[in-house]
A = this chain, B = another copy of it.
Amino acid sequence: MKKAHLLTIGDEILIGQIVNTNATWMSQKLNEIGLWVSEIKSIGDIDSEIKKAINQSLQDADFVFVTGGLGPTKDDITKKSLAEYFGVEMVWHQPTWERLEEYFLKLGRQLSDGHKAQCFMPSNATILTNKLGTAPGMWFSSNGKILVSMPGVPYEMQYLMEAEVLPKIAELVLDGQTVIHRSICTVGEGETVIADKISKIEDDLRSNLKIAYLPGMGNVRIRVTGTGKDEELLNFDVNKAGDEISEILGDIVYANEDISFEKALQNLFIEKNLTLGLAESCSGGYISHKLSIEPGASKFFMGSIISYDNIIKQNVLGVKSETLNQFGAVSSECVKEMVIGALKVLNVDIAISVSGIAGPDGGTEEKPVGTIWIAVGDKNRILTHKLTFGRDRLRNIQFSGMFALNMARRFVLKLI
Q: Which residues of chain A have a CB within 8 Å of any CB of chain B?
A: 13-21, 23-29, 31, 36-44, 49, 212, 214-215, 278, 280, 282-289, 291-293, 295, 297-298, 301-309, 311-312, 315-316, 345-347, 358-361, 393-394, 397
- The answer to whether B302 touches A304 (Cβ under 8 A) is no
Q: Which residues of B contact A287 (CB under 8 A)?
A: 285
Q: In the complex, A19→B302 CA distance in Å?
A: 33
Q: In the complex, A309→B299 CA distance in Å?
A: 9
- The answer to whether B288 touches A284 (Cβ under 8 A) is yes
Interface core residue of A17, A19, A39, A393 (most chain B CB under 10 Å):
A17
Residue of B nearest to A15 (CB): B31
Q: Which residues of B contact A214 (CB under 8 A)?
A: 17
Q: Which residues of B contact A291 (CB under 8 A)?
A: 284-285
Q: Secondary structure of the A side of the interface? A: mixed
Q: Which residues of B contact A347 (CB under 8 A)?
A: 311-312, 315
Q: Which residues of B contact A285 (CB under 8 A)?
A: 280, 285-289, 291-292, 304, 306
Interface core residue of A44, A280, A309, A394 (most chain B CB under 10 Å):
A309
- The answer to whether A301 touches B308 (Cβ under 8 A) is yes
Given contacts A39-B42, A285-B286, A298-B309, 18 further A-B contacts (CB under 8 A): A14-B38, A16-B26, A20-B20, A20-B40, A38-B43, A278-B306, A284-B289, A284-B291, A284-B301, A285-B291, A286-B293, A293-B393, A293-B397, A302-B308, A304-B308, A305-B305, A306-B306, A316-B346
> Closest approach, in angstroms, between the C-beta of A280 and any C-beta of chain B?
8
Residue of B nearest to A294 (CB): B393
Q: Which residues of B contact A36 (CB under 8 A)?
A: 14
A–B Cβ pairs within 8 angstroms, 8 of them: A15-B27, A20-B20, A284-B288, A289-B289, A303-B305, A303-B312, A304-B308, A312-B347
